[in-house]
Amino acid sequence: MSIRRPQGTQDFLPRQTVYWQYMEKKIRDLCRVCGYEEIRTPVFEATELFQRGVGAATDIVNKEMFTFEDKGGRSLTLRPEGTASVARAYAENKLYGQTPPWKLYYLAPMFRHEKPQAGRFHQFHQFGAEALGTSDPLADAEIIWLAWTLGAKLGLKGLSLRLNSVGCPVCRPGHIAALSAFLRPLAGELCEDCRARLDKNPLRVLDCKKESCQKATANAPALPGSLCPDCREHFAAARSYLEAMDIPYQLDERLVRGLDYYCKTAFEILAPGLGAQNAVCGGGRYDGLVQEIGGPPSPGVGFALGLERLLGALAEQGAALPVSGPPCYVLATLGETARRRGAALAAELRAAGFTVLMDLQGRTLKSQLKLADRKQAAFTLILGEDELERGAALVRDMRTGEQREIPLAELARAMEDMT
């Protein structure tokens, strides 16, 4: 076998997909109780959507996109994140024309061309939620509650929530000017990327993971000091809602989302035990985004949460998720006539909702019974020539070893009682 999966991708086998299904169900249930509805957008979009919707000065757009040309020479990109697509769908389908807000969520694969390592893949999966058409600070708090509560529902311990306000087009330019003035004399101490950011996007310098840059910017002017009254009021209200909901947060004046259309609330959720890849979730308010990609001015707030990292953090903590399904029955038959009758019986029982497995390799009765052990079947149904003649099946409780013959017509009823 010489064909292998592409670098930075994963196969999830059944022993892993049970955990994904468990997590996805928790996510869907949580979204339902908060009134978030699912949206599904294309896996690829016009490249321009991300250039404008994520920002040309970001690492994602500069270095991490899987971009290709279609046969007509149009530039397309595998989505590196979900918010730009949701904002596009919101504008394109004129959702803004209907009563706001729109509360949407997605569970979807994303693609980023970055160096594969633990917790960092070329194809990974995000759960994201967006509240569009509302500038109410309660929406910010609701979004944060949703991301925070998922961790708790899955039994994840030691999560921390970091919170900041990054201002708005009114107050941020003044802050950026002060930050630039502070950073310029330090240019020599910054990494190459950050020196480039000085011109394009000085706020992102605060986000650099390199120790030398963090040290150089330790005393940089903090955003909260330069917030305008509107931003200050919004932040205070969002915080008061979080406190009312008992969500513990830490203020982090260095936390940024470096684009013009991000504003006000910014937050991150970190999980212990994931090393450098410890951010499980990032989010915030983006009141300028829909307009940036060609829609009418519409406020919005949301987050994206990395599901591989969430599962990684759970595994790290040895959290045992309750993933066992309903009991399984193995239907073993002896002889071709019984096998045919068995096929019909399996179809009947499956239609009634029971999990019924039959041998598909022409195995002996003895090996069929071994299948029952391997599949950890709760019961085995045995259909031999004798049972068939009597119109019955032999039912063995695999836990106790007890056996009894049950007429086929009463089987479904009896199985209902047994489980």
* Binding interface with ligand ATP (CB under 6 A): 81, 112, 114, 119-121, 124, 126, 277, 279-282, 304, 306, 308-309
Give which of 269, 297, 299, 298 is closest to 283, Cα–Cα. 269
CB contact at 8 A, 172 and 234: no
Between 226 and 265, whose beta carbon lies closer to ligand ATP? 265
Name residues whose C-beta falls within 8 Å of residue 314's C-beta, 6 or more positions apart in sequence: 19, 154, 155, 156, 321
Between 77 and 380, whose beta carbon lies closer to ligand ATP? 77
The nearest distance, CB 276 to ligand ATP, in angstroms, is 8
The nearest distance, CB 114 to ligand ATP, in angstroms, is 5
Between 287 and 308, whose beta carbon lies closer to ligand ATP? 308
The nearest distance, CB 159 to ligand ATP, in angstroms, is 12
Q: What is the distance of C-alpha 250 from the center of its chain?
A: 23
The nearest distance, CB 289 to ligand ATP, in angstroms, is 14
CA–CA separation, 374 and 383 (whole Å): 19
Q: Where are the beta strands (DSSP E) in 272-353?
A: 279-285, 300-306, 328-333
| Cα atoms in the Cβ-side hemisphere of radius 13 Å centred on 79 | 22
Sort strands 160-165 and 123-132 into parallel, antiparallel or unpaired.
unpaired
What is the distance between the terminal CA atoms of the chain, rounded to a whole angstrom? Answer: 43
The nearest distance, CB 282 to ligand ATP, in angstroms, is 3
Between 121 and 262, whose beta carbon lies closer to ligand ATP? 121
Between 57 and 414, whose beta carbon lies closer to ligand ATP? 57
Peptide bond preceding 169 in cis form (omega within 30 of 0): no
With the CA atoms of 142, 145, 150 and 152 taken in that order, what torsion angle do they form, in degrees rounded to the nearest 10? Answer: -160
Residue 376 Ramachandran class (φ > 0 left, ψ -120 to 50 alpha, else beta): left
CA–CA separation, 278 and 271 (whole Å): 5
Between 28 and 120, whose beta carbon lies closer to ligand ATP? 120
The nearest distance, CB 308 to ligand ATP, in angstroms, is 5
CB contact at 8 A, 78 and 43: yes
Containing 163, the helix (H) or strand (E) segment is strand 160-165
| Cα atoms in the Cβ-side hemisphere of radius 13 Å centred on 315 | 11
Between 106 and 329, whose beta carbon lies closer to ligand ATP? 106
CA distances from 174 to 185, 217, 352 (A): 18, 18, 67
The nearest distance, CB 279 to ligand ATP, in angstroms, is 4
Between 309 and 396, whose beta carbon lies closer to ligand ATP? 309
Between 84 and 346, whose beta carbon lies closer to ligand ATP? 84
CB contact at 8 A, 45 and 88: yes
Q: Give me Rg for the CA atoms of the chain.
A: 28
Between 308 and 387, whose beta carbon lies closer to ligand ATP? 308
The nearest distance, CB 252 to ligand ATP, in angstroms, is 14
The residue at minimum Cβ distance from ligand ATP is 306
The nearest distance, CB 396 to ligand ATP, in angstroms, is 46
Between 147 and 331, whose beta carbon lies closer to ligand ATP? 147
The nearest distance, CB 73 to ligand ATP, in angstroms, is 29
CA distances from 22 to 66, 70, 311 (A): 30, 37, 11
Give which of 340, 347, 326, 324 is closest to 412, Cα–Cα. 347
The nearest distance, CB 297 to ligand ATP, in angstroms, is 24
